[in-house]
């Protein structure tokens, strides 16, 4: 969890992908760290509320990725040859980190230098442990009368992996 560099009143939750000095690049949807592709294993498709932004139920490719330090996590790939599937090489500056969302095609993260970019060490505030409350995209928590359909009940109090 970190404070957005361009607006420190906004907290973001993304995964640390790159450390100072690392070179990060996406090539054909595959994450590369220091010119080495990250180990990736295909899992069964994610089927559920569309993680790519539509209101429909969707079937999305799901992967298990393993970082060089052995940490594993799941990522989603909404579209082949998406906007973020082929990037420049990002070199993480000293004192900064490179963050990416697990929903690779629908995440504003360090790949978007004008919005998030490299995250300074002092902006890191902690580690996400649990989802306390979750509502559907486009809904507002203050509209409590819509909670029966807006709240994503299956996510409340779930553990972040």
What are the sequence ranges of the domains in the chain? 2-119, 129-161
CATH topology of domain 2-119: Umud Fragment, subunit A (2.10.109)
Distance between CA 127 and CA 34 in Å, rounded? 24
Beta bridge partners of residue 57, listed in sequence order: 49
Predicted pLDDT of residue 152:
74
Instruction: Judge whether residue 39 has pLDDT over 70.
Output: yes
- The residue ranking higher by pLDDT, 159 or 40, is 40
Q: How far is CA 1 from CA 50, 83, 128, in A?
A: 24, 24, 6
pTM score:
0.81
């Amino acid at each position: 969890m970190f404070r957005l560099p361009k607006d420190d009143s906004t907290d973001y939750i993304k995964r640390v992908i790159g450390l100072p000095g690392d070179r990060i690049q996406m090539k054909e949807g595959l994450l590369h760290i220091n010119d080495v592709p990250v180990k990736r294993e295909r899992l069964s498709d994610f089927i559920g509320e569309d993680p790519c932004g539509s209101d429909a139920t969707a079937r999305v490719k799901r992967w298990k990725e393993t970082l060089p330090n052995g940490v594993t996590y799941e990522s989603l790939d909404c579209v082949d040859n998406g906007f973020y599937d082929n990037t420049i090489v990002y070199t993480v500056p000293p004192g900064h980190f490179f963050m990416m969302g697990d929903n690779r095609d629908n995440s504003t993260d360090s790949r978007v230098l004008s919005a998030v970019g490299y995250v300074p060490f002092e902006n890191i505030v902690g580690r996400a442990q649990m989802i306390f409350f979750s509502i559907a995209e486009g809904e507002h928590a203050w509209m409590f009368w819509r909670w029966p359909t807006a709240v994503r009940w299956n996510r409340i109090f779930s553990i972040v992996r």
